[in-house]
Amino acid sequence: MAEHQREVGAIMLEYSPNLHVSISAPDSTTSGEPIDIDFAIDKELADTTYAATITDEEGAIVYQDTSSHLQWTPTKPGTYHVLVSVANRHHWQEAQADKDILVQAQPNQAPVAQCKSFTVQVAPDSTVVITPDDIDAGSYDPDGEIVDKSINGKDELSFGGNDAGDHSVVLDVQDDKGAHDQCTATITVEKVDANEDIAEDEITLYPNPTDSDLILEGIDAHTIDEIYVYHSDGKDGIINIVPHKQGDRVSIDTTPLRKGVYILTIVSKDGTIQTLKFIKNKKK
């Protein structure tokens, strides 16, 4: 029997010995980046089959396919083992090849700090507290998350009526890899008098400051469409108030409100808007 012949029953088959397969792939890559892996045999043989697996350092299969070309995207750092088995049953040949690919972690991208400046109004005997979230205008981390924020290196800053003026503050943000970024904002503190109304009107507010009910006189209660307030630091948004109406006298309950300067807006049924200020003395 010739060297390249094999007898199967009464049939003599021709076969080609010494089939070899090679792997074309990078030696290293970074997680999240797709790579091409190609397998090639040294002879052009029809009906050749491929079986490829990629395993991690613990031997677990993370990818497998039956083609001569793979596109694989590793998701975690580590050393991965590529093994391909090639078979051609018509020529009675099999071959294997393997290769290790080192996957490194993506370089960390630093967070991006974004700030906003704003104005707060503070009564002489009041304070306003500013937190990092108050000046944060949408800070983000491109490849992770922001885990810590500070303002001038602190969790919060307090300003009183004696701090009137512009204050430059620094917002620092830190991501989950320890990288930082900073931005600068200006907080303008305005000292206000609770008895100084924003608009000229004939409405009287008392007691002002208050710690419970606030009385409004000089307005026809039946003409009021709605009343709402908002804190001068803007943190609580607009708060709708349900007034108690008695003739030309209206009272509102301020006990649920926290301490500070408030802007009170009265909207009449004819569309007239009147705006005043008052001070809430005690915290909620």
Tokens of 230: 């908002």
Dist CA 43 CA 152 (whole Å): 70
Looking at domain 5-104, its CATH architecture is Sandwich (2.60)
What pLDDT score does 162 carry? 86
| Report field, pTM of the whole predicted structure over 0.85 | no
Give the count of beta carbons closer than 10 Å to the beta carbon of residue 172.
18
Residue with tokens 């970024």: 181
Cβ distance 13 to 92 under 8 Å? yes
Dist CA 30 CA 36 (whole Å): 13
Q: Which of 221, 231, 239 is nearest to 278 (CA)?
A: 231
The dihedrals phi and psi of 221, each to the nearest 5 degrees, come to: -60, -30
> CATH 2.60.40.10 spans which residues of the chain?
5-104, 118-191
Looking at domain 204-280, its CATH architecture is Sandwich (2.60)
Q: Which of 112, 165, 159 is nearest to 137 (CA)?
A: 112
Q: What is the residue-level pLDDT of the chain in tens, covering all 284 positions?
A: 444 444 544 544 444 456 889 999 999 999 989 999 999 998 777 788 999 999 999 999 999 999 999 999 999 999 999 999 998 877 678 899 999 999 998 888 999 999 998 777 777 777 778 889 889 999 999 988 999 999 999 999 988 878 889 999 999 999 998 999 999 999 988 877 655 444 445 788 889 888 889 998 888 778 888 888 888 777 777 788 888 877 667 899 998 998 888 888 888 888 777 888 888 887 54
Cβ distance 100 to 79 under 8 Å? yes
Q: Which residues contact 228 (CB under 8 A, 6 or more apart)?
A: 238, 239, 240, 241, 264, 265, 267
Give the count of beta carbons closer than 10 Å to the beta carbon of residue 120.
23
What pLDDT score does 193 carry? 62
What pLDDT score does 83 carry? 96
> CATH 2.60.40.1220 spans which residues of the chain?
204-280
Strands 213-217, 28-30: pairing is: unpaired
CATH number of 118-191: 2.60.40.10
